[in-house]
Amino acid sequence: MAYVLKEEHNLSNWLNSLTRESAVLKYVMLIEVILALIFVSFGIVIFITKNSYGMLVIAGVLSFFAAGHWVKQYENYTNSGFIKRGREGEIKNSDRLEHGLDEDYYIINDIDLAFGKKKSQIDHIVLGPNGIFVIETKNWRGKLIGNETDTSWTQIKENKNGNDVKIKLGNPIVQNMRHVQTTRSVLQANGINSEDIFSVVVVNNDNRDLHTITPVLLPNEMVEYIKWTKSSHKYSPKEISKFIEILFPDCNNYHLK
């Protein structure tokens, strides 16, 4: 069984942040609606008796803010669904890697790398005797259509009314090649020029019409793909330890088996 150096945190933190924000918005909206109703009630009386519409204006402003907060809460609800599916896919794939790979492999989940102005949030990095594997996980539904170099892929799925809708999604192959380049740059800046940094794209959806040279794997194909990938040479525990030290300097709880 492989050794996990870092668990997923970014998506969980983002989801918790949206949940807290939505809870606050709920109470703010309630207060705004109640105040708007109060100002409308008194505003109508004052307008009739004194021909003054100041309180009605205030009620309108409060209603405007309440509507804006409702839209924001709906956006949070929608985003939370995407985040939950993404987190679910990442956690499942991390579990597959941990239990599917041998004990000489190490897994760093949800890692942020930066080199100059280039920044990458990488779902998983696997380090082992046959190299470094930079893994992008997508938990997408519907039918996927795309090519190797397309800027975006097309997702076709049903909406609530049963109609097919087309959604543009970023090409994960292009996205992950940027992650690979950032990983390579960080290593090179620390004196490591490894040829064996591999891009692995995993999409848990076999309803697809993809024309790519880079393999787009199903989750159950990921582990075997990593195991059977050939590298320029077999990396020693000392070399793997150096990779970990550079890519994840905050790690102080691992040991080489």
- 115 part of a folded domain: yes
The predicted model gives 214-233 an average pLDDT of 93
Q: Specify the 3-state DSSP secondary structure of 152.
A: strand
- 22 part of a folded domain: no
Q: What is the pTM of this model?
A: 0.78
How many structural domains are present in the chain? 1
Is the pLDDT at 255 greater than 80, yes or no? no
Give me the pLDDT at residue 220, please. Answer: 92
- 233 part of a folded domain: yes
Closest CA to 236 of 133, 127, 135, 134: 127
- State the amino acid at position 192 in one-letter form: I
- 221 part of a folded domain: yes
| pLDDT band at 117; cut points 50, 70, 90 | confident
What does the block give as tokens for 44?
């109508």
Cβ neighbours of residue 48 under 8 Å, at least 6 residues apart?
Answer: none
Distance separating alpha carbons of residues 57 and 55, to the nearest angstrom? 5
- 26 part of a folded domain: no
Longest C-alpha distance within the chain, in Å? 90
Residue 181: phi and psi, rounded to 5, are -65, -40
Residue 173: phi and psi, rounded to 5, are -65, -50
Taken as a whole, the chain contains a residue count of 257
Is the pLDDT at 256 greater than 60, yes or no? no
Closest CA to 133 of 171, 94, 169: 94
- 62 part of a folded domain: no
Question: Domain residues for 231?
Answer: 103-247
- 209 part of a folded domain: yes
- 92 part of a folded domain: no
